[in-house]
Amino acid sequence: MNEDSYLNAGYTLRSWFFTSDHKRIAILYFASLIFFFFIGGAAATAIRIELATPQADLVSSDMYNRLFTMHGIIMVWFFLIPSVPNTLGNFIVPLMIGARDLAFPRLNLLSWYLFMLGGSVTLFAIAAGGVDTGWTFYAPFSTLYSNSYVMAAVIGIFIAGFSSILTGLNFIVTIHRLRAPGLTWYRLPLFIWSLYATSVILVLATPILAITLILIAIERCFGVGIFDPKIGGDPLLFQHLFWFYSHPAVYIMILPGMGVVNELISCFSRKEVFGYKFVAWASLAIAALGFLVWGHHMFVSGQSLLASLVFSFMSFIVAVPSAIKVFNWTATLHKGSIRFDAPMLYALAFIGLFTIGGLTGLFLACLAYDVHATDTYFVVAHFHYIMVGGMVTAYFGGLHYWWPKITGRLYSEGWARAAAILIFFGFNLTFFPQFILGAEGMPRRYHVYPPEFQVWNVLSSGGASILAVAYLLPLFYLGYSLFFGARAPANPWDAPGLEWQTSSPPPEFNFAVQPVVTRAPYQYSEAFKAEPQNA
Amino acid sequence: MPDGAPFAPQFASVQHRDETAEFGMWVFIATEVLLFGGLVLSYFVYRHAYPQAFMAASRHTDILIGTANTAILLTSSFLVACAVEALSMRAHTTSRALLIGAAILGLLFITLKGFEYADEYREHLIPGINFAFDGPLANGAELFFIFYFIATALHAVHMLVGIGLLGTFAARIGNAEESRIRTALHSAALYWHFVDVVWIFLFALIYLPGRSS
């Protein structure tokens, strides 16, 4: 390992917990997210075991409510939203743009502490007895009727929201101000464009969640009727506010994944990303349109038909930039020199799974079909295809791709490919049956169901056990690589990005000399050799 | 690596650092706009649903204190703007005096707000604690006062943060690196002006409905 690596910059606990190095903070986030991922995963495991039979044999109805709420809250706020931005993004963004750190390193550290504080309060809510409202906290149930630990969970998520805002703020300022000389906007890798779009959402949507949670907390504490129709409040207003945050938040949970996939597809087909400018602007278009479609969560909630029509139309429009990306990735593969390394397997899986998730999203944007599909497993399958099939797959792809840079070690390619393939099959077996269940009318959030649904539920639970194994595998072979893996060279994939032009693992301030960028990203020669951005 | 440089290693120059810091404050203000925006949106939804009740409830607010507070806050913003100018002319003593003046005006605002809350407590206008409002408009009026208290309390929290900032700068002017403190003060001033602008919106939403007729 090179002597001046960031990992050698200090070995004390203090040098980690009070660091302002974006790379070390990324590692802190990595460790925390693994923890939360397995907590959320444990809840999912219990859910799938319960659903293997039509009767209630493992948990009570009340316990089941708490399980899926815990699964949702942990996975959305404590895994998916921070997943790519706060780990890979934190580590890679400054490297990719040729900067020595993020613009505000201490805010970055504060963001991690807030995240851990919010996470701890939320874990307290779970340990104390859990929350039974669903991750959406619909009022007036959450404010007036639920006897579970709603306040603690609300406070935990409120605090974690500030960690999101600080990260978004830091990325926006960093990308605007700290780009290397010569690194114009159209020379930025598309991962940066994606994270920029994500950050805009983090900064502009999260405060709406904050104020919504404040309103929930006040209604619950003081017994006033902000959302209670009995004394003039409007529960629909809660849904409008909540989804005005949570629909854009859905794009927080996919845009960074799309960004990762750009890097992978380009590197492993040894080609420039097709239609760079379209892909770049598609990210911003998705972020902007994301603010205009929240009403499609409320087609059966009693909003006006005109509003539903407009929201339906806008939701269809989101498919345009999303499809631009999928078509452009496919076009990038065309006539490329394709290598099926593990990160590429994840990227290809992403394209397939995201396409299925995206297209079923169009079913749900369709007013008539949505009335049938609302609150069924069709919706559950749809958003798991996007968030798990899409985002988690991209997260693993990016983790493998940048692993040599982050740790300075190589991992076992064979095991990595096996895990990638296993994830793909396990995932489809888990969630495809849920489309069928949903289309046949099985509602979500129930733990007993008619016996004729059992075959699909058994398939789904079987797939989930494969998926569980597949998600555990990287823990072992990446853990092994961390201590015993072969030393990684600076640029193991022969990629042109700036992050590969510094040593692995990078020194404390990333670059010995300030890189100067001279060309667009993703340039490969006729022989498919990388042409570094700063050469 | 610029070891011992007066700016952090991710920046190329002092000016680079200063511009970056100010840009960060603008992004932070964007997030704050949305925070208050969600609240104002909710207010308008209910004002649209209960226009009569909102007018009746608004007539129970204390427009005298409200107007006085608006004047106090605008004056304090003016003092902060002058303090920024004074500091860039290196008039440290003047700048410090202006900041202390602005902070005192901020405290005066909070004090008056406290008296206003006390009056509202006596008039049984605090939802969840002792709200009582005669007549058929009670539900809508209660919603008005819920938003009144949340919005003004959230604003007051921002005020307290701002007063703390102004006090800190008043103490540190002259003891810290010149360019750094100027940028930091500039950002703090942006924040203070933002809190001021929020109040102008709140003033119109809280005190003016139902007063003209």
Q: Could you tell me if residue A519 is inside a domain?
A: no
Instruction: Say whether A203 and B30 touch across the interface (CB within 8 A).
Output: yes
CA distance A238 to A219: 12
Q: For residue A4, what are the CA distances in angstroms to B4, B86, B88?
A: 19, 45, 41
Residues of A engaging B, defined by a Cβ cutoff of 8 Å: 94, 99-105, 165, 168-169, 172-173, 176-178, 203-208, 210-212, 214-215, 218, 221-226, 231-234, 237, 241, 244, 509, 514
CA distance A29 to A355: 29
Residue B48 has pLDDT above 60, yes or no: yes
Residue A524 dihedral angles phi and psi, to the nearest 5°: -130, 145
Q: Could you tell me if residue A523 is inside a domain?
A: no
* Mean pLDDT score of chain A: 95
pLDDT at A223: 87
Which residues partner with A530 through β-bridges? A524
Using a CB–CB cutoff of 8 Å, tell me whether B19 touches chain A.
Answer: yes
Q: Could you tell me if residue B15 is inside a domain?
A: no
In this prediction, the answer to ipTM > 0.90 reads yes
pLDDT tens per residue across span A43-62: 999 999 999 999 998 999 99
Following DSSP, what letter does each residue of A65-100 receive, concatenated? HHHHHHHHHHHIIIIIHHIIIIIIIHHHHHHHTT-S
Average of per-residue pLDDT across A313-337: 96
Domain span holding position A322: 17-500
Residue of chain A nearest B39, judged by CA positions: A211
Q: Could you tell me if residue A524 is inside a domain?
A: no
The count of domains in chain B is 1
CA distance B109 to B67: 11
Cβ contacts (< 8 Å) between B39 and chain A: which residues? 211
Q: Could you tell me if residue A374 is inside a domain?
A: yes
Instruction: Say whether B39 and A211 touch across the interface (CB within 8 A).
Output: yes
pLDDT tens per residue across span A450-503: 999 999 999 999 999 999 999 999 999 999 999 999 999 999 999 999 999 999
Residue B5 has pLDDT above 80, yes or no: no
Closest residue to B9, CB basis, from A100, A203, A226: A100
Cβ contacts (< 8 Å) between A111 and chain B: which residues? none
CB A246 within 8 A of CB A135: no
Find the distance separating the first CA and the last CA of chain A, reported in whole Å.
Answer: 25
Q: Could you tell me if residue B176 is inside a domain?
A: yes
Cβ contacts (< 8 Å) between A100 and chain B: which residues? 9-10
Q: Could you tell me if residue A360 is inside a domain?
A: yes
Residue B1 has pLDDT above 60, yes or no: no
- Name the packing angle between helices A255-269 and A393-407 (round to 10°): 60
CA distance A270 to A200: 31
B97 CA to chain A: closest CA distance, Å?
A: 30
Question: pTM (2 decimals)?
Answer: 0.95
Q: For residue A120, what are the CA distances in angstroms to A38, A68, A117, A460?
A: 15, 19, 5, 31
Tokens of A163: 């960690």
CA distance A190 to A444: 36
pLDDT band for position B2 (cuts 50, 70, 90): very low
Cβ contacts (< 8 Å) between A102 and chain B: which residues? 10
Residue position matching structure tokens 């650092």 = B17
Q: Could you tell me if residue A512 is inside a domain?
A: no
Say how many C-beta atoms besides its own lie within 10 A of residue A533's C-beta: 29
CB A200 within 8 A of CB A172: yes
Residue of chain A nearest B129, judged by CA positions: A222
Cβ contacts (< 8 Å) between B16 and chain A: which residues? 177
Using a CB–CB cutoff of 8 Å, tell me whether B42 touches chain A.
Answer: yes
Which residues partner with A409 through β-bridges? A487
CB A314 within 8 A of CB A293: yes
Per DSSP, the three-state class of A487 is strand
Domain at A436, CATH number: 1.20.210.10
Residue A400 has pLDDT above 70, yes or no: yes
pLDDT at B4: 59
Closest residue to B128, CB basis, from A172, A222, A241: A222
pLDDT at A526: 87
Interface of B with A in 138-167 (CB under 8 A): 139-140, 142-143, 146, 150, 154
The count of domains in chain A is 1
Q: Could you tell me if residue B105 is inside a domain?
A: yes
Q: Could you tell me if residue B41 is inside a domain?
A: no
pLDDT tens per residue across span B187-210: 999 999 999 999 999 999 999 998
Domain at B112, CATH number: 1.20.120.80
Instruction: Say whether A212 and B38 touch across the interface (CB within 8 A).
Output: yes
Instruction: Say whether B49 and A222 touch across the interface (CB within 8 A).
Output: no
Domain span holding position B156: 73-213
Helix boundaries (H) for A178-304: 190-222, 235-252, 255-269, 276-290
Instruction: Say whether A103 and B20 touch across the interface (CB within 8 A).
Output: yes
Closest residue to A232, CB basis, from B38, B42, B50: B50
